[in-house]
C-alpha cells in the first residue's frame, strides 16, 4: 500500500483510470465491477488500481464509519464466487486528511479476462464499462502471453477435435457468459474457448484446462487425471477390498460420478430418540467428505506426476489424498485461512459447473459439518508430494 501522501494524491485525481471513489457500500455491484475492471487492467499499467470507500466524487472523505464489518464486506467480494478468476486484492483502513477511509488495492490479473457475474468489465478513462469483443480479445491474448499455471498452457498433442464442443457451447457457456453477450456473439468457437482460457490461439491448441474440462479422453494426455476410490474391509491397505472404482472422464463426469458414489458409502444408524421417535445418525458427514474431495480435485498437481486423487475408505476413517504439496502462499500454518490456486482455470470451471459456491471456505465448511455430525475434526498431513486429509468416523 502506498504512503498516505500518495493515497491522498490518487484520491483527489478525478481523471485517473486507476482510481474509483464510493461514498458508501450502498451499491456493492458497482464496487465489484470496479474490482473486475482494475484486475483486467486493459490500459496495461501493470500497477494496482484503488477503490476508495467513504470518499465522495470530489475526492473528499465522507461521513461513512469505517467499521470492521465494512472492511470484511469489501474483503469478502474477492472470494464470493462472482468475480472469476479470483482477483488479488487487499483491504486497508487508512487515515487521509484526518478522516478514516477504506482502500481496496486491486492487482492486475495474470490471466485476464476477469468477469463479474459473467461480464468482462474494463476501465475507460475514469469510468468502467463492459468490454467489446475486440477489447476482450486483447485481454485473452495478454493472458496467453503471460500464462504461468499448468492448466493455462497449450496441450501440444491435442486438437480441437479432442474436445466435446457441444458440451462447451450448449451447457457451459450459458452458465458463465451473460445471455445478452451470447445473443450477439459473432466469435468462432476457438475464440469462445480462448476467452475462458480453454484454448491457446497462438498455437491453435486446447489448453490443459480445456482437455481436462471438456476432453473426450483426458487420460490420453494426462495419465493421472482421475479419482481412484477403494473401500477396505478393515483398517489398513492390506485388508480385503470391498469395492474399487476409477472415476474417469472429463471434470464434469468425474464430479458427477463422485456425487453418485459418496452417498452410497455413508452408513446411517437409526437410534431411539425422544418418545417413539427414531433419529438417524450417519457415520460421516456427506457434506464434509464432498468438500474435502472437491478440494483435492481442484488443488491437485498434474505436472510431474501420474498419480490420481485417491479416496481410501476404511472401517474407521476416510483418507483423501491429493497429488502435489501445498501451493503458492499456502503453508501448514495458514492453510485454513489462506487460499492460492495451482489450477485457477479449473477452479473457475468448477464454479461454473456448480460445484463451488464460495472460494476459500471449503475447509471451514467441512469442519463445521463434521462437528455438527459428531465427527472429530479433520486431520491434515502435508508432504512435498501430496496432501492427505483424514476424516474419522463417529466414535461410539
pLDDT band at 318 (very low <50, low <70, confident <90, very high): very high
- Rg of the chain over Cα atoms, rounded to whole angstroms, equals 23
Domain 4-129 is in which class?
alpha beta
Q: Please give the pLDDT value at position 278.
A: 65
| Average pLDDT of span 349-356 | 91
Query: Nearest CA to 289 among 183, 194, 375?
Result: 375
- Nearest 10 degrees: CA dihedral of 81, 84, 89, 90? 0
Q: Please give the pLDDT value at position 137.
A: 79
pLDDT in tens, 129-138: 999 888 887 8
Residue 46 has pLDDT above 60, yes or no: yes
- Nearest 10 degrees: CA dihedral of 78, 81, 85, 90? 10
pLDDT in tens, 78-125: 988 899 988 999 999 998 888 899 999 999 998 889 999 989 999 988
> What CATH number is given for 227-392 in this structure?
3.30.565.60
pLDDT higher at 349 or 133: 349
Question: 3-state secondary structure string, 222-277?
Answer: CCCCCEEEEEECCCCCCCCEEEEEEECCCHHHHHHHHHHHHHHHCCEEEEECCCCC
For the chain, the domains span 4-129, 147-220, 227-392
Residue 175, CA distances (Å) to 117, 167, 171, 182 in order:
10, 12, 7, 11
Could you tell me the pTM of the whole model?
Answer: 0.73
Residue 356 has pLDDT above 70, yes or no: yes
pLDDT higher at 334 or 217: 217
Residue 272 has pLDDT above 70, yes or no: no
Q: Please give the pLDDT value at position 140.
A: 80
Amino acid at each position: 500500500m502506498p504512503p498516505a501522501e500518495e493515497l491522498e494524491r490518487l484520491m483527489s485525481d478525478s481523471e485517473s483510470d486507476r482510481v474509483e471513489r464510493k461514498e458508501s457500500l450502498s451499491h456493492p455491484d458497482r464496487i465489484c465491477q470496479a474490482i473486475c475492471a482494475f484486475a483486467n487492467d486493459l490500459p496495461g499499467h501493470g500497477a494496482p488500481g484503488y477503490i476508495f470507500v467513504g470518499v465522495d466524487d470530489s475526492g473528499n472523505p465522507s461521513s461513512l464509519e469505517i467499521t470492521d464489518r465494512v472492511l470484511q464486506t469489501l474483503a469478502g467480494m474477492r472470494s464470493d464466487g462472482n468475480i472469476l478468476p479470483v482477483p488479488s486484492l487487499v483491504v486497508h483502513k487508512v487515515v487521509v486528511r484526518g478522516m478514516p477511509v477504506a482502500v481496496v488495492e486491486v492487482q492486475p490479473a495474470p490471466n485476464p479476462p476477469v468477469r463479474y457475474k459473467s461480464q468482462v468489465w474494463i476501465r475507460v478513462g475514469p469510468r468502467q464499462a463492459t468490454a467489446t469483443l475486440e477489447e476482450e480479445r486483447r485481454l485473452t491474448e495478454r493472458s496467453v502471453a503471460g500464462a504461468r499455471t499448468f492448466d493455462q498452457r497449450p496441450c501440444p498433442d491435442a486438437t480441437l477435435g479432442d474436445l466435446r464442443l457441444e458440451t462447451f457451447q450448449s451447457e457451459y457457456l450459458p452458465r458463465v457468459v451473460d445471455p445478452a453477450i451470447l445473443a450477439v456473439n459473432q466469435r468462432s468457437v476457438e475464440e469462445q474457448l480462448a476467452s475462458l482460457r480453454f484454448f491457446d490461439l497462438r498455437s491453435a491448441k486446447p489448453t490443459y484446462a480445456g482437455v481436462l474440462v471438456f476432453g473426450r479422453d483426458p487420460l490420453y494426455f494426462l495419465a493421472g487425471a482421475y479419482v481412484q476410490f477403494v473401500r477396505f474391509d478393515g483398517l489398513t491397505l492390506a485388508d480385503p477390498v470391498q469395492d474399487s472404482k476409477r472415476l474417469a472422464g472429463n471434470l464434469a463426469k468425474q464430479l458427477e460420478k463422485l456425487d453418485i458414489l459418496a452417498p452410497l458409502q455413508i452408513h446411517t444408524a437409526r437410534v431411539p430418540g425422544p418418545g417413539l421417535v427414531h433419529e438417524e445418525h450417519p457415520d460421516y458427514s456427506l457434506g464434509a467428505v464432498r468438500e474435502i474431495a472437491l478440494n483435492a480435485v481442484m488443488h491437485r498437481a498434474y505436472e510431474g506426476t501420474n498419480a490420481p486423487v485417491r479416496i481410501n475408505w476404511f472401517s474407521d476413517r476416510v483418507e483423501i489424498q491429493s497429488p502435489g504439496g501445498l501451493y503458492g502462499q499456502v503453508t501448514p500454518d495458514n492453510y485454513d485461512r489462506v487460499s492460492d490456486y495451482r489450477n485457477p482455470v479449473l477452479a473457475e470451471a468448477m464454479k461454473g459447473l456448480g460445484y463451488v459456491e464460495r472460494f476459500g471456505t471449503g475447509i471451514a465448511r467441512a469442519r463445521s459439518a463434521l462437528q455438527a455430525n459428531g465427527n472429530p475434526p479433520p486431520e491434515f498431513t502435508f508432504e512435498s508430494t501430496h496432501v492427505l486429509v483424514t476424516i474419522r468416523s463417529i466414535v461410539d
